[in-house]
Structure 1
Amino acid sequence: MADTAKPASAAPSRRKAGRHRGEGQWAAGHFTPLNGNEQFKKDDDGLNVRTRIETIYSRTGFASIDPNDLRGRMRWWGLYTQRRPGIDGGRTAVLEPEELEDEYFMMRVRVDGGRLTTEQLRVIGEISQEFARGTADITDRQNIQYHWIRIEDVPEIWRRLEAVGLSTTEACGDTPRAFLGSPVAGIASDEIIDGTAALEETKRRVVGNPAYSNLPRKFKTAISGSPLLDVAHEINDVSFVGVRHPEHGPGFDVWVGGGLSTNPKFGVRLGAWVPEEDVPDVHEGIVSIFRDYGYRRLRNRARLKFLVADWGPEKFRRVLEDEYLGRKLVDGPAPEFPAQRWRDHIGVHLQKDGRFYVGFAPRVGRVDGATLTKIADLAEAHGSGRVRTTPEQKMIILDVTEDRVESLVDGLEALDLTTEPSVFRRGTMACTGIEFCKLAIVETKGRASSLIDELERRLPDFDEPLTINVNGCPNSCARIQTADIGLKGQLVTDADGRQVEGYQVHLGGSLGLDPAFGRKVRGLKVTAAELPDYIERVLTRYREERQDGERFAQWAARADEGALK
């Protein structure tokens, strides 16, 4: 492809500054750092911190870590300091970083495409038990997150992960983060195209490559050829979505500029069809546009979605073709949106080779190392040794023969990993929350888990597909704006006038057929204690008022405010 692997310092000076002259765009010749993050990245590439971790910090301890490494570059290797226990949510925004953080780390292990072997899963479980106090959460980016990691143990953890082909490289930071991929790529009987090869080659080119290790902000990628649209393609920086071209056959439709957080935007189509073999070139071109033209002045405007919103898809495609690919892309069709509501692959499903895959539901992604090793044992005894994580915090065991399905299902049930979960267990996700996250205001994982139990008890016959996403702060790691019921953690005032943990409620968000961000009803905030009562009340009202076949999101969009309170 055309000149995308040039070092950052070689961004072409011939490009003229656009109207966003003050945005710190390298392509406009603006290389002077405009904030502290840009300064520490210019001072030293985040990839270089690994050497210091291995040779200095792991030997001299937490207190010896340079602040720009501790709260900056170490993210390039999947490491964030975690929240010090006992600090309530009211102090999240007022304390200095050194007051909030503990001398332990969250470590994020990349699981690109959710692809794991049982050997890898067993090593993940063993590391969890030995170094992370048993923690090993599954994220909605298909990763695994540890907590309680000591800096002294990091080199040994890396050694064990890398011995089985795993890594933490650029799992965080202003980098190409872990790639979402269909967890049933290559095996699903209804698959349009297998995106595995394209994902692996793209990862090989960009991850750990200094040409792409200093981006304006994080960069999220999704590649899936599933007709279920199972990677939330609408809310990634770039997504490649499986489609069939009427002349050229199976390939990918390209979307750019999606993202949530405090200024959510859906991605837009470039209108281009890309064959499997060209995905890595096109991805490199798009990430290079972000590197060169992305906004670096303000962190809250540094995501690709802001550039795409200002340029529009036509200009973005023109720059991609003319300045980075050196060729025109083929026009192509949009994906067809499936009528099926669930995109998580839960349950027992036939593979195209006659075997089965079995999807099951941990509670809000919370598992532990001992359970992961038991899942690995079950997968080896019943399948071929292949396991997957999903973008809904779920897991799948592949390649199970028909005569072994029942035994596997029973073995999973014994671990409280059901293949036939209730609507509430199946559809509820939660971010890390105040237990470990320095940005969080409220608790999430435990509260979401207890909410599942309470709703199962109160509404045992509720069977309409429904998503409830629980987030500890406004940043939407749990995708609150696109859930049927999105819960954004904040402090609220209870009936006695006290400040307590609670949630702002977003209603009727959705992806897929009718993508929409959830509706915020004026004054609708719920205390944590009131949460089960509120959700029971609004779901009961929905069932009373829904029209034939009407989804919750459709009802919530038209309901009067009184029905939603």
Structure 2
Amino acid sequence: MSQNLNLENIKKEKDGIDVLADIYLHAIFGEIVTPADLERFKWYGIYAQDEKQEYFKLKVPLSLGELNLNQLKILSQISKEFSDDTLIFSSEQKIEFKNLKIYDLPNIFNLLQEVNLKTHFEAGHTIRRVLTCPVNGIDDTQLFDVEPLANKLNDTFIGNKNFSNLPNKLQIAISGYEEGCNVQFTPDISFNATKDAKDKIVFSVKVLDKTIGYITPAQVIKTALALANIYKDFGDRINPQNSSFEFLVNNWGINKFFDILNSTVNYKIGKNLFIKEQIIPRKPRMGINKSKIEKQSYIGCKISSSTIQSSNLDNLTSLLEKYNASKIKITHKGNIIILDALSNSANDLAIELEKIDFNPFV
């Protein structure tokens, strides 16, 4: 549908982040949503499933892919009350609900709000939630715990109206590993931890998976802001086919892009640092793995189907409570990792997880 619309005109008429009141009005009065507003609704993760708009889909992006027990319970409740008793664990670290009625959206938003789940900046011409590795902070082969930086990146960009109207979407990733995270596609911008010759942590700055320089951890947020502003100011807003971040970089060439980036920050982005090669092997993520946190393990479970029955989500939540685990992450392949299983009962938990189709033994 968006191919036949001028999205720049649509955004000039009303910013996508300003459409929440319209969503509620449509929910109350049940009027057909205009094509322009359907595009704006995507800023809040809402998509029409059919031309008659009888049903809608809602995508809920997860901060760092994580869910706690209360959030799992609310997701199950939404599934039962509004979405045919099912939901989807997406490989994009999102939860998807289908077959929703538009008049139920306010109630759904209220339930999500209760457990600090929000859908704004799910799509549209925005900066998406930052991608990180699912075992960040608990895997001892990781060079650097990037969770504080990842949270700061989300706090800086998500919901920030200065970044709700870009030429197109922008995806940032940050990793505590040299090789980054296996996110199934190439992020526009990546920051990967590594060590220099003096054994100090630095981050490689990758643009479309090409390293253009190195910065300190303290410079990550400023560099991300500079990169986002370059795209916001210079990305093509005339030809939709040329609106991507990738087109801008390729059109300028990587050297010009680096020079412009370097000129917009008040520090030097290192280009020729001697990097100390790391030889620590990566641990597997499926199965039972010892955590950095004392007396804890993390358990990676393969899911046979991304569509989850609410009853099975309840079974998962009950098992987590039974074994005193409190949070999971959805991986970039749509599987799950239980983050804080107690080591002395991890095997028993794993055996019970297999019985409900969350399989650690793969």
CA apart distance, 1:129:
1.8
Specify the alignment match of 1:168 in structure 2.
119
For the 8 Å contact 1:272–1:329, the answer to whether it is kept is: yes
Q: Does 1:67 align with 2:35?
A: yes
2:161 match: 210
Q: What is the aligned-residue RMSD (CA, Å)?
A: 2.4
- The alpha-carbon distance between structure 1 residues 336 and 36, as it changes in their structure 2 partners (threshold 3 A), is farther
Evaluate the alpha carbon distance shift between residue 165 and residue 338 of structure 1 in structure 2; reply closer, same or farther with a 3 A threshold: farther
TM-aligned CA deviation for residue 301 of structure 1: 2.3
Q: Separation in 2 of the partners of 1:305 and 1:81?
A: 28
How many residues align structurally?
A: 357
The C-alpha deviation readout for 1:469-495, integer Å capped at 9, x for no partner, is xxxxxxxxxxxxxxxxxxxxxxxxxxx
- The 5 A counterparts of 1:84-233 are 84=50, 98=51, 102-226=53-177, 229-232=180-183
The structure that has the greater radius of gyration is: 1
1:316–1:234 Cα change, 3 Å = farther
SS of 2:251 mapped into structure 1: helix
Q: Partner of 1:39 in structure 2?
A: 9
1:320 Cα deviation after fit? 1.7
Residue in 2 that maps onto 1:352: 292
Alignment correspondent of 1:532 = none
Moved more, 349-358 or 291-300: 291-300
SS of aligned partner of 1:109: strand
Deviation at 1:368, TM superposition (A): 2.8
2:42 corresponds to which letter in structure 1?
Answer: R
Contact 2:32/2:53 (8 A) holds in 1: no
What CA distance in whole angstroms lies between the structure 1 residues aligned with 2:168 and 2:114? 30
CA distance in 2, matches of 1:280, 1:343: 28
Task: Specify the alignment match of 2:26 in structure 1.
Answer: 57
Conserved? CA contact 1:108–1:168, under 8 Å: yes
Matched, 1:301 2:279: no
C-alpha spacing 1:343/1:140, structure 2 compared with 1 (3 Å): farther
1:379–1:387 CA contact under 8 A, matched in 2: no
Tell me the TM-score normalized by structure 1.
Answer: 0.60
| Cα distance per residue 1:83-115 (max 9 Å; x no partner) | x4xxxxxxxxxxxxx3xx642221111112112
Residue 58 (structure 1) shift: 0.9
In structure 2, distance between residues paired with 1:189 and 1:343 = 9
Question: What amino acid does structure 2 have at the position aligned with 1:304?
Answer: F
Distance 1:228 1:306, change over 3 A: closer
> Structure 2 counterpart of 1:346, which letter?
M
Instruction: Please list the CA deviations of residues 388-442 of structure 1 after superposition, one character each: whole Å capped at 9, or x if unmatched.
Output: 1111111010122222112211121111111123xxxxxxxxxxxxxxxxxxxxx
CA distance in 2, matches of 1:226, 1:129: 39
Change (3 A) 1:115 1:351: same
Q: What's the CA shift for 1:374?
A: 2.2
Please report how far the alpha carbon of residue 339 of structure 1 lies from its aligned counterpart in structure 2 after TM superposition.
Answer: 9.5
In structure 2, the residue matched to 1:465 is: none
Residue 365 in structure 1 maps to residue 306 in structure 2: yes
Q: Is 2:325 aligned against 1:404?
A: no
Unaligned 5+ segments in structure 2 are none
Comparing 240-249 with 42-51, which one deviates more in the overlay? 240-249
> Secondary structure at 2:194's aligned position in 1?
strand
- Contact 1:230/1:343, CA 8 A, preserved across alignment: no
Deviations 1:292-349 (A, max 9, x none): 11122232321111111122332222212213x2332234467969897x98721111
Instruction: Work out the CA distance in 1 between the residues paired with 2:289 and 2:207.
Output: 31
CA distance in 2, matches of 1:49, 1:394: 33
CA distance in 2, matches of 1:129, 1:159: 16
- Which of residues 251, 258, 269 is equivalent to 1:317? 258
- Is the 2:141–2:280 Cα contact (8 Å) retained in structure 1? no
Q: Bigger CA drift: 248-257 or 349-358?
A: 248-257
Closer, same or farther: CA 227–270 of 1 in aligned 2, 3 Å: closer
For residues 250 and 206 of structure 2, what CA distance do their matches in structure 1 show? 13
Query: Any residues of structure 2 matched to 1:307-456 within 5 Å, and which?
Result: 307-323=248-264, 325-331=265-271, 332=273, 345-354=285-294, 355-421=296-362
The answer to whether the 8 A contact 1:344-1:394 is kept is no
Correspondent of 1:284 among 210, 225, 238? 225
Q: Equivalent residue for 1:274?
A: 216
| TM-score (normalised: structure 2) | 0.91
Q: Which residue of 2 aligns with 1:557?
A: none
Q: CA deviation at 1:209?
A: 0.9
Distance 1:313 1:163, change over 3 A: same
Q: Which 10-residue stretch deviates more, 387-396 or 131-140?
A: 131-140
1:291–1:247 CA distance, 2 compared to 1 (3 A): same
Q: Residues 337 and 389 of structure 1: is their aligned pair in 2 closer, same or farther, counting only changes over 3 Å?
A: farther
1:76 paired to 2:16: no
* Consecutive unaligned residues in structure 1, runs of 5 or more: 1-33, 85-97, 258-266, 422-565
Shift in CA distance, 40/254, structure 1 to aligned 2, threshold 3 Å: same
Percent of matched pairs sharing the same residue: 28
**C-alpha separation in 2, matches of 1:125 and 1:251:** 41
8 Å Cα contact 1:195-1:225 kept in structure 2: yes
- In structure 2, what residue type is equivalent to 1:283? A
Instruction: Give, in angstroms, the shift of residue 130 of structure 1.
Output: 1.4
Quote the offset at 1:227 in angstroms: 5.2
User: What's the CA shift for 1:57?
Assistant: 0.7
User: Counterparts of 1:463-502 in structure 2 under 5 Å?
Assistant: none
SS in 2 for 1:367: strand
Distance 1:232 1:336 in 2: 23
Structure 1 segments of 4+ aligned residues over 4 angstroms from their partners = 332-340
Q: Give the structure 2 partner of residue 29 of structure 1.
A: none
In structure 1, what is the Cα distance between the partners aligned to 2:91 and 2:240?
A: 23
Write the letter of the residue equivalent to 1:80: Y
Q: What one-letter code is carried by the residue in structure 2 that aligns with 1:361?
A: K
120 and 248 in structure 1: CA distance in 2 versus 1, 3 angstrom threshold: same
- Which digits, 9 at most, give the CA deviation of each residue in 1:376-395, with x for residues without a partner? 22223224412111111110
| SS of structure 1 residue aligned to 2:78 | helix
- State whether residues 60 and 119 of structure 2, in contact with CA within 8 Å, keep that contact through their aligned partners in structure 1: yes
Shift in Å, 1:65: 2.2
Per-residue Cα deviation, 1:521-564 (whole angstroms, up to 9, x for no partner): xxxxxxxxxxxxxxxxxxxxxxxxxxxxxxxxxxxxxxxxxxxx
Relative contact order, higher structure (CA 8 A, sep 6+): 2
SS at 2:359's partner residue?
Answer: coil
SS across alignment from 2:113 = helix
